[in-house]
Chain A
Amino acid sequence: MINADRIIASLIIISSLYFMWHAIALPIGWNGIEGGPGGGAFPFWLSVIMLICSAIVFWRSSSGTKFQKFSFDTSMIKPILLVSVSLLCTVGLISVIGAYIAIFLFLFWYLRVIGRHSIGLSLTIPVLTPILMFFFFEVTLRIMLPKGVSEPLFLPLYAKFF
């Protein structure tokens, strides 16, 4: 089995190096005139500590089995991947077709395909949720959710409620 602990530690090492690289845009040393560290010092040196600790975690998990805590229920990989990808697609679709249609599609997909619920439930929740969202966010809070190409469909509703 792949040692996932080592993979996570490697990702943290890479992130630490990435943060350090961006942090050096500002001074990371001691500011002699004002006193105290420069603007980049805090993120830089904290990333250094992170780098050292994650390197030790990496070394530790390479040198023995004691710390290989990461266990995965393999039968659940598929549903988790399915939900993760669906979520990613939904967020991507929000800017294109708007939040209301994207969320309708997400809920329908989730309940019907992933949850294997009846068609009645799989349609009721996806239809009711965007309606409630519209009244809560747009009518009550005046927060406009992104609508993408579906914007023209909302013009009659705007005329009625605003």
Chain B
Amino acid sequence: MDLLTLLSDGFATSLSPFNLMIVILGVTAGLFIGAMPGLGSVNGVAIVLPLTFVVPPASAIILLAAIYYGAMYGGAISSILLGIPGASTAVATTFDGRPMAQKGQAALALIAAAFASFVGGTIAVILFTLFAIPLADLALAFGPAEEFALVLLAFTTFVGLGGDDILKTIIMICLGLVLSTVGLDLISGQPRLIFGDLPGFYSGISFLVLAIGVYGVGEVLYTIETSKSNPTVSNAKITFKDLYTGIKTISSYTKTMSIGSFLGFFVGMLPAAGATPASLMAYGLAKQTSKKPETFGDGNIEGVIAPETANNAASTGSLLPMLTLGIPGSPTTALLLGGMVMWGLMPGPMLFIDQPDFVWGLISSLYTANVAAVLINIALIPLFVWALRMPFSVLCAIVLVLCIVGGFAPNQKMHDVWLIVLFGYAGYLLRKADYPLAPLVLALVLGPLMEKSFRQTLISEQGNILAFIERPLSATFIFLSLLFFIWPLVGLLRSSKREHPHFSSKRPDFSRQNS
């Protein structure tokens, strides 16, 4: 079927009054969540996911995607008005956004951030629409061997490109995979890792429990520690004149926006990368290609435009492998994937064939979410200024309550709530000790698929381990995985020879907590 026909059918779904309301609701909630320091898209989606049972599955996913989208816009608000990034994805926006606000240009910075996000988001959604079908068609050729190799590739990108301590990344991936094996053995059906026959573990550990624990409770503890006092909020009033001047100024930076959009989209597709490194890379590139690189850091508008186009484009980019291949491109999309599986919508190429209404409804909802986000963002700025003055303690208390009841609601087991508290404390400590949390959540979500495809391949091939490299696609993925794995090790050996007798595996820190 023609692409435009599919998309227009999708619009018929996403523009239904109910779904339109869902998009507006999601984007508004996302904007607030993104704007609150300490809360990013991943925290928002983790906390709100269990509360979405109130709407049908397709609308629930549209709602969550809209929150994800809205949070990307919202992150810039506190970066500019507070000087504290609302989410790690908006770190680069503070570099020039905050100086602009201090110079009395908060309104211009906010307009620039909103419109740059809109441009980044729109270009990325168009790219998404164009790439979705070819990628899904390619994925149709996947058997269990390719599935395993692709998941392996996703994990090795964390080792090769993640930017965190390699050993700690490997530990987190293994921990996530081990936790994913709790419950019943996929093949034999025997109970496994049920820790002394605890009945709560028979159904396994839900990704939601880990996500709420780590990104809800853990994040609150982290926020309490890092935010001793409430920072000063810059005032921002936007008039129609500001809006006109803002749009006129921004439209002269087409090169910066195009670079940010394309870079963001492709970096966002990589599981280990995501919106934070994409926005930092776009900022760096904008500085290099700028006519006035020396003004970056002092309130150059390009320093706001570049990261904001990139982080929005990256958030859309990370949805592409999730929807077409079933491999999430970021922790937030890992949660969306988990949510879809929970509602019986298995992401992957078959979804395009079995549920075209849902897939295209979701894709078209990204277009509407983009338009809604830019309008709501500009319109509600006075409300954000007011909300940012809310004391942290009120926000933290409410988030903790949402974690408790949200964790209980899906399965109605106190066992899950206890686990959330446990994971929350563990997540906080692990984060303090520089253990990356994104691979942990991704491993828990992808663990069952990885084990199933590995064992299915070996059973069908009578134990022939070479089966993974006998199929061309699978062999390519395995080769790339090896490359990602070996590359940092070579770097390690070189640097250890030069500097220190011990391992020196810390590379530039692109923390992706909230990408």
On A, residues with C-beta under 8 Å from B are 4-5, 8, 12, 15, 19, 22-23, 25-26, 30-32, 34-37, 39-40, 42-43, 46-47, 49-50, 53-54, 56-57, 60, 63-64, 66-67, 69-70, 72-73, 75-76, 79-80, 83-84, 87-88, 90-91, 94-95, 99, 103, 106-107, 110-111, 114-115, 117, 121, 125, 129, 133, 136-137, 140-141, 143-146
Contact = CB atoms under 8 A, between A and B. Distances in A.
A43 B192 contact: yes
B435 to A, nearest CB: 8
Given A36-B458, A40-B192, A143-B412, A125 B397 contact: yes
A30 B194 CA distance: 22
A133 B405 contact: yes
A94 B417 contact: yes
Interface in B347-383: none
Nearest to A8: B433
A46 B168 contact: no
B305 interface: no
Interface stretch (B85-93, B169-177, B268-276): B169-177
Contacts of A95: 414
Contact of A43 (B193, B391, B397, B400): B193
Contacts of A83: 220-221, 224, 396, 400
Given A22-B193, A76-B228, A117 B394 contact: yes
Contacts of B454: 36-37, 42
Interface of B: 51, 53-54, 167-168, 170-171, 174-175, 177-178, 181, 185, 187-188, 190, 192-195, 217, 220-221, 224-226, 228, 391, 393-394, 396-398, 400-401, 404-405, 408-409, 412, 414, 417-418, 421, 424-425, 429-430, 432-435, 451, 454-455, 457-459, 461-464, 500, 502-504, 506
B156 to A, nearest CB: 13
Closest CB pairs A-B (n = 6): A35-B463, A115-B393, A36-B458, A39-B185, A50-B174, A110-B397
Contact of A99 (B192, B193, B405, B451): B405
Contacts of B457: 36
A35 B458 contact: yes
B181 A43 contact: yes
A42 B181 contact: yes
A36 B459 contact: yes
Contacts of B193: 19, 22-23, 43
B221 A50 contact: no
A39 B192 CA distance: 8
Nearest to A88: B421
B342 to A, nearest CB: 15
Contact of B409 (A22, A26, A79, A141): A141
Contacts of B194: 22
B414 A103 contact: no
B224 A136 contact: no
B178 A115 contact: no
B224 A94 contact: no
Given A8-B430, A46-B174, A115 B391 contact: yes
A63 B185 CA distance: 40
Given A46-B178, A87-B421, A64 B502 contact: yes
A30 B464 CA distance: 11
Given A34-B463, A49-B174, 10 more contacts: A8-B430, A30-B463, A43-B193, A56-B167, A63-B502, A73-B226, A83-B224, A87-B424, A125-B398, A137-B409
A63 B228 CA distance: 34
9 contacts: A50-B170, A53-B167, A84-B221, A84-B425, A87-B400, A106-B401, A111-B397, A114-B393, A115-B393
Contacts of A39: 185, 187-188, 190, 192
Looking at chain B's contact residues, the main secondary structure is helix
A146 B455 CA distance: 40
Contacts of B177: 42-43, 46
A53 B171 contact: yes
Given A111-B393, A117-B393, A125-B394, A69 B433 contact: yes
Most buried by A among B171, B194, B226: B171
A70 B435 CA distance: 11
Contacts of B54: 136, 140-141
Contacts of B168: 53, 57
Contacts of A54: 167, 171
Nearest to B167: A53
A82 to B, nearest CB: 9
B500 to A, nearest CB: 7
Given A19-B193, A37-B455, A145 B408 contact: yes
A49 B192 contact: no
B13 to A, nearest CB: 24
Contacts of A90: 404
Nearest to B407: A91
Contact of B502 (A49, A60, A141, A145): A60
A35 B190 contact: no
A51 to B, nearest CB: 9
Given A73-B225, A80-B225, A36 B463 contact: yes
A86 B257 CA distance: 47
A26 B393 contact: no
B225 A76 contact: yes
A69 B429 CA distance: 12
B393 A66 contact: no
Contacts of B421: 87-88, 91
A37 B458 contact: yes
Contacts of B224: 76, 79-80, 83
A103 B175 contact: no
A85 B463 CA distance: 50
Contacts of A47: 174, 178
A79 to B, nearest CB: 6
Contacts of A87: 217, 400, 404, 421, 424
Contacts of B190: 26, 39
A57 B409 CA distance: 38
A83 B216 CA distance: 13
A130 to B, nearest CB: 9
